[in-house]
Amino acid sequence: MPRSESARNRHAFATCPRRRTLWLVGDELRARAADEPFPRLSVVRSFNDAKAGVATLAGGVPVVFVFRCDDPNRSRVLDVLTGWSIGTGGSLDRIGPNTVSACPAGTGPVALARSGVVSVLDEVFADADVRLTRDEEERLLPLAAAGAVEAQRRLLDGYGELATVIALWLRPSTMSAAHAVALAQEELDRLVRWPPRRGTLLAALFRRLESLLA
């Protein structure tokens, strides 16, 4: 039996507590946006690609992992996620054969907006380039400010991993990594819903995290 289908992984997906219902919603997401963070998207092409996503989970933010890697790397990531689930009480749900939703304990249902995560997943599996460009960011910022879910989703995908990395870099020694990541992701959610009127989202995010984590 391949390692990627190990009994330990199958046990975790079958028995992990508080399995979440996957919500495919449209306008309802906007009404709940102030209370529940968007899940972050982590595209895994190698084992190292998953590290920021796991750190984001430690900060209390749900993450959707999309596997675009070979079986050995996928198996290693699944083993790590299984250990995380068992150790923290978080839940894992298979959305598809190459997609796993991970929810920290105590978080609400994962909200997968049909115009948000689902459209990005379509692009990922079509091997489209989903990286955020400066021109695209300038186009998306006013749409995100107006409440467009798809625009907010793309900005979060562009900066979710970077927010985690900056938080781990800037955090003082007296602050836990999990708390720093949680602050960073909360601030990113806030900036995406109320984007800066001038400058880039990255510059605004860095300034805010520099202040919050000082």
User: Which residue has 């793309």 as its token pair?
Assistant: 154
Using CA atoms, how far apart are residues 207 and 200, in angstroms rounded to an integer? 11
Higher pLDDT, 140 or 94: 140
pLDDT tens-digit series, residues 80-91: 999 999 999 998
Q: How many helices (H) does the chain have, and how many strands (E)?
A: 9, 4
pLDDT tens-digit series, residues 138-150: 899 999 999 888 8
Using CA atoms, how far apart are residues 195 and 185, in angstroms rounded to an integer? 14
The model carries a pTM of 0.63
Average pLDDT of the residues of the chain: 76
Using CA atoms, how far apart are residues 5 and 23, in angstroms rounded to an integer? 26
Cβ distance 69 to 46 under 8 Å?
yes
pLDDT tens-digit series, residues 17-72: 333 333 333 344 344 444 556 788 888 889 999 999 999 999 998 888 888 889 89
pLDDT confidence tier of residue 134, bands split at 50, 70 and 90:
confident
C-alpha distances in Å from residue 21, one per residue of 45, 124, 213: 27, 23, 34
Question: How many CB atoms lie under 10 A from the CB of residue 120?
Answer: 23
Using CA atoms, how far apart are residues 164 and 185, in angstroms rounded to an integer? 7
